[in-house]
């Protein structure tokens, strides 16, 4: 009994590990630097990590179904480059057609959706491995971004195109403290994570995602259209990647062929650190949001402490390895628990009182 209670307590701690790590990191860095725990620095972290956070939303959707999307960083860069070229003047590096910025935003989001559909169709209809398919798409889109780009960056951008990443929703003034600016990027990031959390937890589509990720065969047997769910999560990943490109372009007021480059591994890491399982079917978007915050806190805190960038990567790697080890332990424990309950139910059906078997996988 004590062992069972200990394992339940350990499982509860694992499920909330991201918030324990985040709280500990904030306390440590607040002690290291007195300017760390200030509204200005908090907003700066959120603005800087907003593009990564949007990529994490899309990546979490695919991971929950037991898939990967390695192409999201290149989708981000490609959509941003196309949008900048269409909306900017020739003097700013664009092609000079000066497409309406709002129409440009719709085109960028449509590009992300089309890329998601292509990924999903190749994986579900042609049965291509999702890792290889999205890796190929990542390479294709990055090459296309370089091919389309001018010699340098494209910018400055039109004000309407720059608003999502550089605009301000409100300025909160206080009598004793400095003015706190609330950027558009932060509002979008928080709002989209809230929407994603509601969808994954309380909507039928979200339940279908967990079913597909936990047991694809059982989900199909229960009437879930597995192919449609997988295509849909890749569309979400593509659209959020395009939106990440829009925010990053607005924040920098320019787009380069390097936009989004090397973000895929931080995206995967932040999702996994936040509790999204690489094995599918487990995790929450609130935890993924915590992973984004932890990634930004570590980056900002170590920078303020004037730690070498090489050691920043070391710390990130250690945190990621720790999170993956915890996830592996959790998956193993849940599988052994489900197997033991199944054996008990089978024994009960053979000669003892009937018992209801536990679900095949816990979230």
Closest CA to 249 of 78, 44, 109, 84: 84
Q: Is residue 243 assigned to a domain?
A: yes
Q: Is residue 363 assigned to a domain?
A: no
Helix (H, G, I), strand (E, B) or coil at 308: coil
- Please give the pLDDT value at position 265: 86
Find the domain containing 156 and state its range. Answer: 2-344
Segment 329-353 mean pLDDT:
68
CATH of the domain at 340: 1.10.3470
CA 306 to chain centre: 28
Least confident of 125-134, 257-266, 295-304, 324-333: 324-333
- Please give the pLDDT value at position 40: 87
- The pLDDT-based confidence of 71 (bands split at 50, 70, 90) is very high
What angle do the packed helices 226-252 and 101-124 form, to 10 degrees? 150
* pLDDT tens digits, 51-70: 999 999 999 999 999 999 99
Q: Is residue 295 assigned to a domain?
A: yes
- Please give the pLDDT value at position 160: 87
- Please give the pLDDT value at position 46: 93
Residue 363 has pLDDT above 60, yes or no: no
Count of structural domains within the chain? 1
* pLDDT tens digits, 83-113: 999 999 999 889 989 999 999 999 999 999 9
Residue 114 has pLDDT above 50, yes or no: yes
Least confident of 22-31, 303-312, 341-350: 341-350
More confident site: 339 or 348: 339
Q: Is residue 139 assigned to a domain?
A: yes
Residue 138 has pLDDT above 80, yes or no: yes
Q: Is residue 173 assigned to a domain?
A: yes
Closest CA to 56 of 244, 188, 200, 202: 244
- Please give the pLDDT value at position 355: 45
- Please give the pLDDT value at position 65: 96
243's tokens: 């939106």
- Please give the pLDDT value at position 57: 97
Q: Is residue 245 assigned to a domain?
A: yes
The strand pairing partners of 181, in sequence order, are 171
Is pTM beyond 0.95? Reply is no
């Amino acid at each position: 009994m004590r062992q069972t209670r200990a394992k339940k307590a350990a499982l509860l701690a694992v499920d909330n590990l991201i918030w324990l790590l985040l709280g500990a990191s904030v306390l440590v860095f607040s002690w290291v630097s007195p300017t760390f725990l200030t509204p200005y620095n908090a907003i700066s972290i959120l603005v800087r990590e907003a593009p990564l956070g949007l990529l994490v939303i899309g990546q979490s959707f695919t991971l929950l179904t037991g898939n990967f999307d390695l192409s999201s960083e290149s989708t981000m860069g490609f959509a941003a480059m196309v949008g900048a070229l269409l909306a900017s003047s020739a003097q700013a590096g664009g092609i000079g057609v000066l497409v309406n910025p709002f129409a440009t935003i719709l085109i960028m989001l449509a590009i992300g959706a089309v890329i998601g559909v292509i990924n999903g169709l190749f994986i579900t209809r042609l049965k291509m491995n999702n890792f290889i398919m999205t890796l190929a798409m990542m390479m294709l889109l990055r090459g296309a971004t370089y091919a389309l780009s001018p010699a340098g960056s494209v910018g400055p951008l039109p004000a309407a195109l720059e608003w999502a990443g550089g605009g301000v929703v409100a300025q909160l003034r206080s009598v004793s403290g400095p003015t706190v600016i609330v950027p558009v990027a932060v509002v979008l990031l928080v709002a989209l994570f809230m929407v994603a959390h509601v969808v994954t937890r309380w909507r039928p589509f979200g339940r279908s995602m967990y079913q597909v990720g936990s047991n694809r065969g059982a989900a199909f047997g229960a009437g879930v259209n597995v192919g449609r769910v997988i295509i849909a999560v890749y569309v979400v990943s593509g659209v959020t990647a395009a939106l990440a490109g829009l925010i990053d372009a607005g924040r920098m007021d320019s787009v380069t062929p390097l936009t989004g480059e090397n973000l895929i591994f931080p995206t995967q890491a932040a999702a996994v650190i936040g509790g999204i399982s690489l094995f599918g079917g487990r995790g929450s978007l609130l935890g993924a949001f915590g992973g984004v915050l932890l990634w930004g806190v570590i980056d900002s805190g170590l920078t303020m402490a004037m730690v070498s960038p090489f050691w920043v990567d070391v710390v990130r790697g250690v945190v990621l390895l720790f999170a993956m080890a915890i996830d592996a332990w959790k998956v193993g424990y849940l599988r052994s628990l489900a197997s033991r309950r199944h054996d008990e139910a089978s024994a009960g059906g053979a000669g003892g009182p009937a018992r209801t078997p536990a679900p095949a996988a816990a979230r």
